[in-house]
Structure 1
Amino acid sequence: MSTLIGNINVFDHKNHEWSIFHSRLSQFLKLNKITDDNKSAVLLTHLSDESYRLARDLVHPKDLEKLSYDELTKALGDHFTPKRSTFADRAMFYEAVKQDNESIEDWAARIRGLAVYYEFGSALDTLLRDRFVLGLGAGAVRDRLFEQDSATLTLARALEVAQQAECARRARSSVAGAAAEPRVKEEPVYRVSERRGFQGRRGPAYSGAGDEPRCSVCGLKNHDASKCRFKNYKCVVCGEKGHLKKVCKVQRASVARVNNIDTVPDQDHDDDEHNCKECQLFNLSVEEVSGRRAQVTKR
């Protein structure tokens, strides 16, 4: 026995469409040059158990195995091919629209499939073209088709124009999306010191809007620089006379800055007053001298 060319699936009327199976079976028989005596056997052997039982019931009381191929296909075709309503079929065709997730090519194929059972006659090509164009959603693709001459526009040409317009739309969207994406360079974030920013611009004697000016010698608020008891003190940082270390400009300039952004924590001047060792030593010296003068006065 020679090897058969091609193959067909077993027909199950619950899952498969009879017209498609019948068409494939006809091509299979023709390709393998199967004779009329064997066509019925090929058909029956390609039916599922449920479909075979149904075919036997349809031809009862005749014997299923003794019927010709044409008799079998007629009995099955009459049963599986539903009666169609021309107006209902046309309504489905005229109301069809392209879905959002459906490509241009799939939409064109679907409307052709909808027109298979419709009796449109010679007007079929024109109706297919019109349904293809009018079924598209509002947008650049349909606007491009509306610009075409309906007297010369065919379905094939409409499909070609729609594909070109769709490709152009996608290209524009891709370019616009890429241009809209901001390119931000990542930089390290530092803490901004508002107090130090003002002092850097207006000098160490300024402590912010509305605050009392500080002494340029010691940094305190309760007196003027001319009356400061530290005005003759020599700074241990720059060596100049007339201010303490905590208000020294050289000391402040040594703090790392980038556009008024400090990399070290900010501290209040009142804290510096209590933590400054120079002030404490100077105060001890002044108190010591004052004590000696008091003893001399008593004597």
Structure 2
Amino acid sequence: MDKVLIPERLEIDPNSSEASCEWLHWKKTFDDFLNALPSEGLDKLGVLVNFLSPRIFQYIEEAESYDTAIEILKTMFVKPLNEVYSRHVLATRNQQASGNVDEYMQALKSLSKHCNFKAVSAVQNRDAYVRDAFIRGLNSTWIRQRLLENKHLDLNTTYNQARSLEVAIKNAEAYRVSDSSTVVTAAQNSETQNDETSCDIEKISATANPACFFCGGKKHPPSKCPFQNVICFKCHKKDIS
């Protein structure tokens, strides 16, 4: 057995941004290794387990066949492609300040692999381009985010979803303004009622007493008494009306 064909142990982090690329490379080296082995009586699942780290093995330990184990691993490392988001990333990718033209071109070619490009009519090609430009130029980042959540999206669906989301934003804003106005009005009414209640108390106090309790003069509201907040000579406490 040529040692050059022996693959490395699979230790890919499923959450890594490079997981898909690393998995495809590892799977190719493992397939080449299997093809170099004698096919008669070959236990593919056993060979696979031998080239998995303990952390990766726990995901396929209950798999009963090689094909089932490979499908589980593929699902782990290769995330479903989002055509709409991938095309948005490609359309908005700029050359890095520290990168040269060759690196920029390679980055664009790499991103284009996830865009699901295929032979279509001129009308379909135009609609796809308009859809991408429409999403890219939206003022609302929230609407753009919601549209980019779709894995597949034609032009009409893009337009209809954007309109619905825009109306939802306006309705929510109108409800918020209306609710704020209700709270302000309630607060103003409460203040008015408190003012009226205070005036009523002063009127009742002035009517019930023929002379002022504090100064002994002609009856008047307590709040108008010149002796209000004066310290009493008997109890040595300040009057609080």
Structure 1 length-normalised TM: 0.34
Higher relative contact order (CA 8 A, sep 6+): 2
Structure 2 length-normalised TM: 0.41
* CA radius of gyration, larger in: 1
